[in-house]
């Protein structure tokens, strides 16, 4: 199997080609102008596509060529956007080649880009900072053909926003009574242990659904963040979570979950804070890329 690859990087003024091909880099400014972010207002989320890669491999025995197209970029979020989940996989809505042919049916027929799964931004530490950005991508494998250029590539990224949430505080941090977070969702701290710079809390819960911790793919309510806070209201640590067992009992799911914190021996938690999302909104953020050429075509490589 002979593998051939080329790439075009369009990351705000950075365009590189494999030096081995001895080709001059494309016009950076020209490519930058072709990247169009829909609804670019600073107070709205927007998508910036930064990377387009076309690659091909040829089986020297059978002559069969396999082609792959990859897109990468970022969802830029305005400060203060309450995003609890992001789907890293882009959905393509328009793929038009230089002859105005629609390539989207070929892509959809292959069953690609149909799975939308949200990942917790809090649990994975995504979109943090003053100007948060979250990585998104799409990879199309086994395509029958690739054009020399794209007249238009369009698609969208999906994010999940918390429209309503509540904060519940537990103090002191110890095993104890029931915590009624919201209708149909009750917790109890079963065990608190501390050793080797870590604090572990085991919860039991009753809820309408299984695994209501950081699971942004379920309907609300669910816990989106767990923090340990000292007596001066400084956050000491944010928890990471794992599910335990669960069972359904007359329509109510009963289960356990474990939340672990990294905590120095001299830090004493005074309060356990639970952030609970009670209402969500899914939002699609669109993008377009226009008139982008593939500078080194995989079919040309295979012929060489």
Q: Which pLDDT score is estimated for 112?
A: 57
Cite the DSSP H helix spans in 54-114.
104-109
| In the chain, where the domains are located | 2-162+282-303, 172-269
The strand pairing partners of 288, in sequence order, are 36, 154
Pairing state between β 252-262 and 198-207: antiparallel
Q: Which pLDDT score is estimated for 25?
A: 41
Q: Which pLDDT score is estimated for 42?
A: 55
Do 159 and 281 form a contact (C-beta atoms < 8 A)?
A: no
Do 122 and 239 form a contact (C-beta atoms < 8 A)?
A: no
Q: Is the backbone peptide bond immediately before 172 cis, with ω within 30 degrees of 0?
A: yes
Average pLDDT for runs of 10 along the chain of length 304: 32 26 39 43 79 83 83 86 86 88 76 68 54 81 79 90 92 89 89 92 90 84 90 89 82 90 90 92 91 67 49
Q: pTM higher than 0.75 for the full model?
A: no
Q: Which pLDDT score is estimated for 229?
A: 94
Q: Which pLDDT score is estimated for 40?
A: 43
List C-alpha distances in Å: 304 to 2, 58, 67: 11, 11, 16
Q: Is 151 left (phi over 0), alpha (psi -120 to 50) or beta?
A: alpha
Find the Cα–Cα–Cα–Cα dihedral 112, 113, 115, 121, rounded to 10°: 150
């Amino acid at each position: 199997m002979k593998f051939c690859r080329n790439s075009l990087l369009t990351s705000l003024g950075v365009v590189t080609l494999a030096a081995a091909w001895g080709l001059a880099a494309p016009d950076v400014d020209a490519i930058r102008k072709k990247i169009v972010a829909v609804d670019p207002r600073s107070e709205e989320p927007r998508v910036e596509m930064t990377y387009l890669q076309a690659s091909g491999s040829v089986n020297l025995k059978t002559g069969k060529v396999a082609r792959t197209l990859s897109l990468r970029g970022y969802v830029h979020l305005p400060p203060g956007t309450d995003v609890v989940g992001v789907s890293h996989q882009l959905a393509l809505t328009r793929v038009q080649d230089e002859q105005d042919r629609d390539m989207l049916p070929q892509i959809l027929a292959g069953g690609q880009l149909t799975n939308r799964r949200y990942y917790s931004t809090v649990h994975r530490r995504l979109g943090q900072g003053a100007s948060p950005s979250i990585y998104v991508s799409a990879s199309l494998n086994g395509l029958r053909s690739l054009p020399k250029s794209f007249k238009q590539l369009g698609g969208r990224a999906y994010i999940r926003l918390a429209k309503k949430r509540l904060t519940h505080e537990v103090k002191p941090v110890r095993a104890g009574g029931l915590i009624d977070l919201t209708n149909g969702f009750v917790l109890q701290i079963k065990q608190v242990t501390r050793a080797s710079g870590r604090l572990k809390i085991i919860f039991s819960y009753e809820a309408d659904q299984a695994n209501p911790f950081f699971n942004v793919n379920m309907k609300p309510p669910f816990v989106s963040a767990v923090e340990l806070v000292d007596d001066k209201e400084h956050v000491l640590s944010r928890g990471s979570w794992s599910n335990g067992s669960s069972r359904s009992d007359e329509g109510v799911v009963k289960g356990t979950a474990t939340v672990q914190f990294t905590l120095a021996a001299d830090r004493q938690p005074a309060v356990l804070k639970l952030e609970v999302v009670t209402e969500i909104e899914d939002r699609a953020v669109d993008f377009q890329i226009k008139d982008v050429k593939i500078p080194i075509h995989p079919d040309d490589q295979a012929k060489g």
